[in-house]
Structures are given as C-alpha cells and as structure tokens.
A and B are shown apart, each in its own frame.
Chain A
Amino acid sequence: MGLFDLSLRHKLPLWGGLLIVVTALAITGSNLVLTRESIKKNMLVRSEILGRSLSRTLYSAISQDDVWRAYEIINFPISAEARHPSFQLEDMIVLDAKNRVFISTQPKRYPLQRDLASLGSEFSSLKARLEQNDGRMLVQESGRILLAIPLVAEGMNLGTLVLLHPGDYYQTSFDRVLKRNTWTTLVVLLILLPLTWLWGRRMASPLLQLTERMAELGQRLPAPLPERVYPHGDELGRLFQVYEQMRHELSDKEALERQIVKSDRLAALGRLTASMAHEINNPLGGLLTAVDTLKRHSRLDPIQAKVLPLLERGLAQIQDIVATLLVEAKAKSRNLTHQDVEDVHTLLAQEAKKRGVDWKWHNDLADTIVLPATLVRQVLINLVLNAVQAAGEQGRVSAHITTSGDNLLIDVGNDGSGITPELMEHLFEPFTGLNEEGQGLGLWITYQIVQQLHGHIEVDSLDDWTRFVVTLPTGAPE
C-alpha cells in the first residue's frame, strides 16, 4: 500500500500538516535571509555612526598629543559594549598620520607607536589601502571586518580611527532573531498542527462513515448516517444529503417491491383458488346430484342410509368453502344505501354488546352510492367483526364510513394487541386466521372483494391501535 492509498483519516492531517510545516519554514527562512542582510547593513551603519561621532573628539586629542584622553574617548564605547554587547565591537585603534598606533583599546596587542603593517597581514593590507585613500571611509572584510574612518579636519589628515569587528559580528544579533523566529514558528506550528489534525479528522470521519455504508449497498440497505454528521452546505454536505436521498429512495423502492411481490402472490393465489374452486365446483355439482338421486330413487340398506347423509353433509361443506373462496363480484347487485350500512350496525351491535366493547360508529353516507351493496356490506361486516374480536373484553372499536371525492372510505380500528410483523406478511392469504375462531377466510374474502372493486386496502398496526382502511372508487364496476 503506497502513501497515496492511505486512509483520508491519516492523509488529510498529514498533507495539511506538511503544507503548514513547509509554509512556516519557507516564511521563516526567507524572513531570516532578509533579516541577516539588514542586520549586517544596520551594524555597519551603526559602527560608522559611532566612529564618526568619536572622530571629532579624537581629532582634538591627537592634535594635542593627549594619549590618555584619546584612550578615554575610545575606551568608553568599548566598555559599554562589553557590558551590553550589541554590535560586537572588538577593538578600536587610533592611528596617527604616519599610520602608527597612537592609542588602542588593547595596548598590549596593538602597542603604542607600532607601525600598522607590523600588526598582521590584515593590517598591512589596510595600510596599503589607507596610503592610497583620499579621505573616505574604508571597509575591509578579511576574516575580521575593519572600518577605517579618517580623522580629517579642514583638509588635514591627522590619522585614522579603525573599528574592529569579528567577521561574524552580526551573528549574535542574528542568532537572537533566529531564536525568536524559531520559537514563534514552533508556537504557531504547535497551534496549527493539532488544528489541522482535528480538521482532517472532522473532514475524514463522515467520509469514512459514508464509504462504509456505500460498501454495503449491494448486499443490503445501508444504515442511515448519524444525525448532523456534516451539517454544512458545501459539496461534502451536498454529498451526504444526496446519500440520504438515495437511501430513502432505495428504501421506498424496496418497500414497493415487497408490496408488489405480496400483491402478485395474492393475485396468483386468487387465480389459483378461483380456478381450483371452478374445477372442484363442477364435479362437486355432479356428486351432489348423484347423492340426491341416490337418496330419492333407490332403496337404501341401513348402512347406506347412515353413510349417505354423512356424504351429503361433507359435500355441502366443501361446496360452502369453495363458494366462499370463489368470490364472485360479477353477481348482479343493487347499489349501496345509507340504510345498508345501518343494517350492518344493527346486526353487529348485539355481538359488540355481548363482548362489552366500547363502540363508535360513524356513518356519513349519502343516500345511494354506486357500489354493489352485498359486497360492501360483506367487507364492512368482516372488518368490524375482526375488530370486535381483536379488541376483546372492554376494548374499543371505531368504524367510519365516509366518502371522499369519488371514493368510499371504510376506516375500522381497534385497540387490541395488534398484528405481528410475521402475520402482517401473510395477512390477506387464505387460512391465515387473526384469531382461533373462523377459518381465516374473512380477510381473504375482503381482499378479493376490494381487488375486484378496483379499490385498495391498507393496514397499519401501531402500538395501541390497529386500522384497516379500505378505499373503493365509486361508479359502475365492471
């Protein structure tokens, strides 16, 4: 794994930190280079100013041959410099007109009256330059830095003041600046680096979460991102918004697919049931006719007389079940009226009262609705009975029958124990009982009727309220 394949968690802080360090070093470096130059220049200027201010009084001391006064004049700045080193003035030498030492701050090293050339190579070259000089200041850099200021008044050259600095005489000041700059840079880095690290983590963390979730996409619907993981409006924020949007759409799509699968299954089941019922109905009719013929036209021995009614009852039960399974909407029926609904109310009131159910009924229908009365009543009865049974003793049940636009709405609810998710999956399939009573065909029939009337049915079972809502389009059904 290469450097560029590192996790953003490391890469962002690393790159950020590297950028900051490089920037800090570049700024500090260029600053130092400039400072070094200006310090050097400044010090030469200060040295010259000192030399020139001393030269006036030195001129008078030399002209009066006053060695001691000259010594006092040059010694004062030297001892001040020793106490507070600022520009590394090492020594001063006053030369007379013949370039001999008149006085110096180091009389042992530069003895009085000694010829300048005999003091060392740097001084002999300085002497050579002084002899050709025409009264201007000389700067000689050869190891040490020598500043030679002529002591000239009214055109008379009485001698020269030589200021001696170590070759790196600006180094001390530079080191001080270097030290200060280094500390400043370190402090800035100490503040900026953790900030960058935090920023990198802050940027990388939501991206990592997003990446982990995106990786799950093929296998399952990924979990939603934590609330306010990145609540900003930049591109990254947009990315998270889009992700959430995509996740919602995927989730809706999955729910829709589940719904379609369920509907398909129910539809296939309906077709299967219907064709089976038809297939069974035909021989069943024959069988029942045969039993009837036997009963009517033959003399039966005692065993036959005992078995035949048994057979007849069994076949009749099969016929009932098949008839129930075979919901026929095509049967001609009159239109639904307000009274039809009230009849159901009356019919079921007894049952509700028996169970002690708290009962709310709201019938909001106009007089006539173009829907087959029998089927709608069947749906209403099934739903309300189910609700009453589910509510149990002292439960609450409500039924609202209203119209909304071109739709009839039947909303039936109860406060029973609700429908488990497992049961919900197979809710409208035949023989899936909500309770022990009955054959589990009530909802199947309801579903078939609603399908055939081109309506739809919705169930939601929340914590303490289970609702079935049937929507049926009014108008003439096929």
Chain B
Amino acid sequence: MQANRPGQYLLVLLGLALFLCGNPAWAVQPLRIGLTPTFLNERHALIADWRVYLESKLGRPVAFVLKDSYEETMELLHQRQIQVAWLCDCPHVTANPEFRLLATPLFQGRPYYRSYVIVPEHDKGTRGLLDLKDKVFAYSDPYSNAGFMNPRYALKKRGIDPDTFFRRTFFTHSHRKAIEAVAVGVADAASVSSYIWETLDRQGPALTGRTRIAARSEEYGFPPLVAYHTLPAREFDALQQALLTMTADPLGREVLERMNLDGFARPRPEIYRPVGEMVRFMERK
C-alpha cells in the first residue's frame, strides 16, 4: 500500500495533466514540481492549496509529483519528467551544474535547519550519538543530510566507523517515519530534520511527544528548491518571484503558515558549502 501510493498519485496527476492539455484554456504544459520527504509530502490538502496559489501567480497549470525517494526524484529531474524539485541540501543537488538554486525556505526566520538525534521519550540517559553504541538506529534516506549523512559524519569525525557502531540500521525513507520508528520503539534512535520534527510537534505531540531530542547538530542551509537547467529563464524567474512573494499574498501566507515556514528567500550558495566539505570528508577512506 504505502509503497504504491506515490505511484498512484503520479498516475492521477498525469491523468489530470493530460486532461488539462486537451483543454484549450490550459493549452500549456504544466510546470511539474517534485516533492520529497524533505517536506511533509503527505499533506495533500496543503499541497493542493499551494498549487492553487502557484497556478494563480504563474497563470499556468502546476503539477506536484510526490516521491518518497530522493534518488528517484533526482532521476525524474534528469529525465526532465519534472522541471523543479524540493530535494536535500547535499552537494549532488546544491553544487550540481545541471541544477539551478531556485529558492531557500525560511524556517524560524532563517534559511537554516539542523539535524536532531532523537530517542524514545523514556530514554533519559542518551546525551548524544556516542551513547548509542550497539543500538538500532533509523535513517531516513541515503541522500538526506539530516537523516543520514550528518550522524555518520559526526561518528567518523571521532574516528568511529558508522557502519559497525550501531547494532542495526535501516532506512524509513521519510523523516516522519523515522520519528515514528523511534516513537513505537522499532528504533532506539534516529536522525531527523529539525524542520520536520518541529512542524510535527506544532501539529500535535501525538508522535513527537513520545520522542526526546538527545542532540542537535550545527546549522545547515535549508534544503532548497532547484530547477533543472533546461527550465527557460522566464519560467524560472516567474516561479522564483511567485515563491519569494508568497508572504505578500493572503493565500500564500496561509500556505506558509501551514508549512511552518516564514517564506522563501533568494538562495545563497555559500550556506550549502559545509555540506560539501562533509561529503568530501566522508568519501575519504
């Protein structure tokens, strides 16, 4: 069920797109945007409202393509199935000449987020990653910084092999599911995006209340929206403008409020450099 869902939505959206193409009023190719678990990509009502906002600003149809996997979404970009995607902050994305940085979300007023190491609420002793030796650890996605690279980097920096440090690791392919894995006790700990944890926490403590933040990483640039380099400049500018001016529009403000974001800013590539260094460090033997 879970695994098929994104595929089903893709089909529905494709169907919708085909229908819209046949309609003279929308005789324009929709702008297709890929969403990953960087964002809470299962909040369909919110996504629908965001689409309405973007369509009204761009004057053309917009279609969101939801995928649980970063890799798959990136592949869609390369195949030009989608023109824009909200991915991770890893250098494959931020430092890739084929991608252009479109906009960086502002979380808590700033274009940054962190990685949280979370443990079950009843685990009062764990102070950081080093207390988790031989525990079961949940990652979100192998391309996620907060959900995969960051904890492994922290271990390796201390000379610890992240592949043998934990008794068992597994991927949940979503920050929300990683939080759930810790909440229900499948994992003893997980590394998740602070944005996802805080946003879920604001929605209600049903899930996050059963977890405790054991450690916070340093700040990283918030995963940006990127466009494939083939997207025409006019369209790139129109979309960037639509995102940057969301705070000026009532519907835009409402969508941002529900996203738990304060707006979108013009991206500054330098905020993503530390991640690049991190990846290079990890690639060293």
Contacts and interface: CB of A to CB of B under 8 A. Distances in A.
A197 interface: no
Given A103-B186, A108-B185, A111-B136, A66 B171 contact: yes
Interface of A: 65-69, 71-72, 75-76, 103, 106-108, 111-113
Contacts of B184: 71, 75, 107
Q: Which A-B residue pairs are the 7 nearest by beta carbons?
A: A67-B170, A68-B172, A107-B185, A108-B185, A107-B186, A112-B136, A112-B168
B167 A113 contact: yes
B170 A113 contact: no
B175 interface: no
9 contacts: A65-B170, A66-B170, A66-B171, A67-B170, A68-B172, A103-B186, A107-B184, A112-B136, A113-B167
Contacts of B164: none
A180 B167 CA distance: 52
Contacts of A108: 185
A107 B189 CA distance: 13
Interface in B159-182: 167-168, 170-173, 177, 181
Given A107-B185, A112-B186, A68 B168 contact: no
B233 interface: no
Q: Which one of A67, A75, A76, A106 has the highest number of Cβ atoms from chain B below 10 Å of its Cβ?
A: A67
A13 to B, nearest CB: 63
A69 B186 contact: no
Nearest to A101: B168
Given A103-B186, A107-B185, A112-B186, A69 B2 contact: yes
Given A68-B138, A68-B181, 15 more contacts: A66-B170, A66-B171, A67-B186, A68-B171, A68-B172, A68-B173, A69-B2, A69-B3, A71-B181, A71-B186, A75-B184, A76-B1, A107-B136, A113-B167, A113-B168
Contacts of A76: 1
Q: Which one of B167, B168, B172, B186 has the highest number of Cβ atoms from chain A below 10 Å of its Cβ?
A: B186
A67 B2 CA distance: 14
Interface string B109-139: 0000000000000000000000000001010
Interface size range on B against A: 10 to 19
Nearest to B187: A107
Q: Which one of B168, B173, B181 has the highest number of Cβ atoms from chain A below 10 Å of its Cβ?
A: B168
A90 to B, nearest CB: 16
Nearest to A71: B186
Contacts of B1: 76
Contacts, number: 38
A320 B6 CA distance: 146
Contacts of B172: 68
B122 to A, nearest CB: 10
Contacts of A68: 138, 170-173, 177, 181, 186
Contact of B167 (A72, A106, A107, A112): A112
B9 to A, nearest CB: 18
A76 to B, nearest CB: 8
Interface string B28-64: 0000000000000000000000000000000000000
A72 B170 contact: no
A67 B172 CA distance: 8
A146 to B, nearest CB: 21
Contacts of A75: 184
Contacts of B170: 65-68
Contact of B2 (A65, A72, A103): A72
Nearest to B138: A68
Nearest to B181: A68
A106 B177 CA distance: 17
Contacts of B138: 68
A29 to B, nearest CB: 45
B41 to A, nearest CB: 16
A139 B186 CA distance: 26
A240 B1 CA distance: 81
A113 B168 CA distance: 8
B240 to A, nearest CB: 36
A94 to B, nearest CB: 12
A76 B184 CA distance: 13
Contacts of A111: 136
Contacts of B173: 68
A228 to B, nearest CB: 76
B189 to A, nearest CB: 13
Nearest to B172: A68
B128 to A, nearest CB: 22
B66 to A, nearest CB: 18
A358 B193 CA distance: 135
Contacts of A66: 170-171
A113 B134 CA distance: 11
A68 B174 CA distance: 10
Contacts of B171: 66, 68
Contacts of B3: 69
A62 to B, nearest CB: 12
Interface string B179-209: 0010011110000000000000000000000
B241 to A, nearest CB: 39
A120 B35 CA distance: 46
B175 to A, nearest CB: 12
A112 B136 CA distance: 8
A67 B168 contact: yes
B72 to A, nearest CB: 15
Contacts of B136: 107, 111-113
A171 B136 CA distance: 37
Nearest to A65: B170
A71 B181 CA distance: 9
A76 B187 CA distance: 18
Nearest to B167: A113
Nearest to A106: B185
A451 B170 CA distance: 134
B264 to A, nearest CB: 31
Contacts of A113: 136, 167-168
Contacts of A65: 170
Contacts of A72: 2
Contacts of A69: 2-3
